[in-house]
Amino acid sequence: MCKACVCVCVCVCPPCRQFQGHTDGASCIDISNDGTKLWTGGLDNTVRCWDLREGRQLQQHDFTSQIFSLGYCPTGEWLAVGMESSNVEVLHVSKPDKYQLHLHESCVLSLKFAYCGKWFVSTGKDNLLNAWRTPYGSSIFQSKESSSVLSCDISPDDQFIVTGSGDKKATVYEVIY
């Protein structure tokens, strides 16, 4: 048995930059893979894109419902937005293309793109895990859990989806192509 001690030093520094613009809480965030853009979703029904280097707002998208979750596609072309209204919208970030997806029966609590960018998952208060094809949102699969699905993530190799739920458990799904 190894009794080596590992020391880790963590330094908490003051924030290096704050992005102000939402008129109500910033409920969800995602950073682009290249680290240049920050996407924020708000309880003020807006999604905003920020330049991380300059600190200025680049885009704003207005919705009719509070934003509970969002995900920026690794390809850099699409943004998926999960709303309190149960809708998921997929927006092209530089064109007016937009897709509205309707499979959830209650608010969409979390959302995550696969690292390949070809699909994404959303979870909701309706106990559902939905997998969608990017960008137009055809349903790949749906799974119903025993309580609200509060969070989700996808492994870097896109082989596993994990969810966290209101009944105090995490569930792992294997993705088989």
Please check the confidence at residue 13 and state whether its pLDDT lies above 80.
no
Instruction: Read off the pTM.
Output: 0.89
> pLDDT by residue (tens digit) across 23-50?
999 999 999 999 999 999 999 999 999 9
CA distance 163 to 21: 31
For 46-55, b/e burial (b = at least 16 CB within 10 A) is bbbbbebeee
Mean pLDDT of 121-127: 98
Q: How buried is residue 109: exposed, middle or buried, by Cβ count under 10 Å (0-12/13-18/19+)?
A: buried
Mean pLDDT of 133-157: 97
Task: List domains and CATH numbers for the chain.
Answer: 26-145 (2.130.10.10)
